[in-house]
């Protein structure tokens, strides 16, 4: 027998042993589950608002150090980055979680505390926009952090056989920094977390969105919307409500503008290209029933999935509103704040990792989902390197997911057995990408 064949025969067991098997990852994820639940409950009971995640950050850093990692702290105010260096050469990939809680309100928009009734429910209250509010992990960021920490423990346990390295990103202020402050994904990148080593791919998970229990949902291409804010001020001329002809009525003009803005998505852009939304959420003007005021303010949101359409809608909002205002003798001021871009799942990365996701879910399907008109600043990472973002059903298996409280509800909760699915997803995505 030729020597080279003999050598290969003897090397085959070593090659197989060097690969990290899915069974090994799943066993470790199962072992980590009790600790993952404990972490999740601590985070859930101790939420903090955006850019104020001081105790959260300290706890995350403590857990990472207990794993033997060296977290870099204080990034973008309270963010953390740590790297698991694999024992074999290979690329760098990143997995990311958000850290912040948010103020919770009832159906009337009034501040409330958490309404889940959990024994570890949040009782935290804080100040938000000058008002005392209840603070809660009502969007699942407690689950996100614990799943990523669980995956970090799993991946750190197999790091000697890991063919590459993993960057762990714990990001503050996903819900948006306070007025006048910077934060979130954009500030993490501005402060250079990828300046020296840029990952080849970045992965993220979000729980909720009324998806089936423990099931994964995603789509290639646009997954979540870009979110921009606009403020319009219509400046008219005050007069008595009994003599409207003596002034310029900004209330009537503002009403016409609201209706005019609705023609942008329905009549002015190509509806077959991508969905879009222009919604006015606040309108304010006047203090008496019989006085026509000088001006009216209105604020709204723009949701888009296509970059060119996003720019076009911005221009059409100004053109439509200004044309209506000036045509009626009023002046118009427009403020446009660019927010988070659309989350775009890299089609090639989705195709490459789909076998991994299907293996993790087993008999449960990997669901194709329609684009979601909510926003997520994971988009900023995915603008810099190929990204894959997916949804994980948060509810119990015996409940219709459509009936579950939605994200940002004071009743939002996480069915904790599904945390193990998230740990397995993160771990298998990373290992399969590096071993491919």
pLDDT tens-digit profile of 81-116? 999 999 999 999 999 999 999 998 877 777 788 999
pLDDT on residue 2: 55
Kindly give the residue spans of alpha helices, DSSP state H, lying in 46-78. Answer: 54-66
Compute how many other C-beta atoms are within 10 angstroms of the C-beta atom of residue 97.
Answer: 28
pLDDT at 44 over 80: yes
Q: Please say if the pLDDT value at position 420 is more than 90.
A: yes
Whole-number percent of the chain with pLDDT over 90 = 91
In angstroms, the CA 75 to CA 382 distance is: 19
The predicted-structure confidence for 218-251, as pLDDT tens digits, reads as follows 999 999 999 999 999 999 999 999 999 999 999 9
Structural tokens at position 407: 């994200």
Inter-CA distances, 201 with 94, 167, 426, Å: 6, 10, 12
- Give the mean pLDDT of the chain: 94
Q: Which residue has the tokens 């684009």?
A: 371
Pairing state between β 366-368 and 331-337: unpaired
d(CA 284, CA 103): 23
pLDDT digits (tens, 9 = 90+) for 322-376: 999 999 999 999 999 999 999 999 999 999 999 999 999 998 899 999 999 999 9
Mean pLDDT (whole number) for 13-31: 82
In this prediction, what percent of the chain has a pLDDT beyond 70? 96
The tens digit of pLDDT for each residue in 150-172 reads: 999 999 999 999 999 999 999 99
CATH placement of domain 226-337: 3.30.70.360
- Tell me the pairing of strands 291-292 and 216-218: unpaired
Domain 30-224+342-435 annotated CATH 3.40.50.2300: no
Q: Which two tokens stand for residue 128?
A: 């938000």
Q: Delimit the domains of the chain by residue range.
A: 30-224+342-435, 226-337
Token representation of residue 217: 């949902």
Sequence-distant (≥ 6) Cβ neighbours of residue 263 within 8 angstroms: 320
> For residue 13, is pLDDT > 60?
no
Contact 341, 380 (CB under 8 A): yes
Task: Enter the pTM of the model.
Answer: 0.92
What integer pLDDT is reported at residue 12 of this predicted model? 47
- Closest by CA position to 428, among listed 18, 24, 16: 24
Task: List the one residue out of 152, 104, 155, 92 whose CA is nearest residue 128.
Answer: 104
Structure tokens given for 375: 């926003």
Segment 292-302, tens digit of pLDDT:
999 999 999 99
* pLDDT value of position 191: 98
- Residue 14, pLDDT > 60, answer no
Backbone angles phi, psi at 401, to 5 degrees: -60, -25
């Amino acid at each position: 027998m030729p020597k080279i064949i003999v050598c290969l025969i003897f090397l085959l067991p070593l090659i197989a042993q060097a690969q990290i098997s899915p069974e090994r990852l799943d066993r470790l994820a199962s072992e980590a589950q009790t600790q993952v639940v404990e972490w999740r409950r601590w985070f859930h009971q101790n939420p903090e608002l955006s850019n104020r995640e001081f105790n959260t950050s300290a706890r995350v850093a403590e857990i990472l150090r207990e794993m033997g990692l060296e977290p870099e702290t204080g990034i973008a105010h309270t963010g953390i980055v740590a790297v698991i260096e694999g024992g074999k050469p290979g690329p760098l990939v990143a997995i990311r979680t958000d850290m912040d809680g948010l103020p919770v309100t009832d159906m009337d928009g009034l501040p409330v505390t958490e309404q889940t009734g959990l024994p570890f429910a949040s009782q935290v209250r804080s100040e938000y926009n000058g008002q005392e509010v209840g603070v809660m992990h009502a969007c699942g960021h407690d689950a996100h952090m614990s799943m990523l920490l669980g995956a970090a423990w799993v991946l750190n346990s197999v790091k000697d056989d890991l063919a590459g390295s993993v960057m762990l990103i714990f990001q503050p202020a996903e819900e948006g920094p306070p007025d006048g402050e910077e934060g979130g994904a954009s500030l993490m990148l501005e402060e250079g977390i990828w300046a020296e080593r840029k990952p080849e791919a970045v992965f993220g998970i979000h729980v909720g969105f009324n998806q089936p229990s423990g099931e994964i949902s995603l789509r290639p291409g646009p997954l979540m919307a870009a979110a921009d804010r606009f403020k319009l001020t219509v400046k008219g001329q005050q007069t008595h409500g009994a003599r409207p002809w003596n002034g310029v009525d900004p209330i009537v003009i503002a009403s016409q503008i609201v209706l005019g803005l609705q023609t942008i998505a329905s009549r002015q852009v190509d509806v077959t290209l991508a969905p879009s939304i222009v919604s006015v959420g606040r309108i304010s003007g006047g203090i008496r029933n019989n006085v026509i005021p000088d001006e009216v303010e209105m604020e709204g949101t723009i949701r888009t999935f296509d970059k060119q359409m996003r720019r076009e809608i911005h221009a059409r909002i100004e053109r439509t509103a200004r044309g209506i205002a000036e045509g009626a003798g009023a002046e118009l001021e427009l403020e446009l704040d660019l927010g988070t871009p659309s989350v775009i799942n890299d089609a090639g990365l989705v195709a490459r990792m789909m076998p991994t996701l299907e293996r993790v879910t087993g008999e449960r399907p990997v669901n194709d989902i329609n684009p979601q008109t909510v926003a997520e600043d994971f988009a900023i990472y995915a603008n810099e390197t190929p990204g894959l973002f997916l949804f994980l059903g948060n509810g119990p298996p015996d409940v219709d997911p459509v009936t579950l409280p939605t994200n940002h509800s004071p009743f939002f909760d996480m069915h904790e057995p599904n945390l193990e699915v998230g740990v397995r997803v993160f771990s298998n995505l990373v290992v399969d990408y590096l071993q491919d």
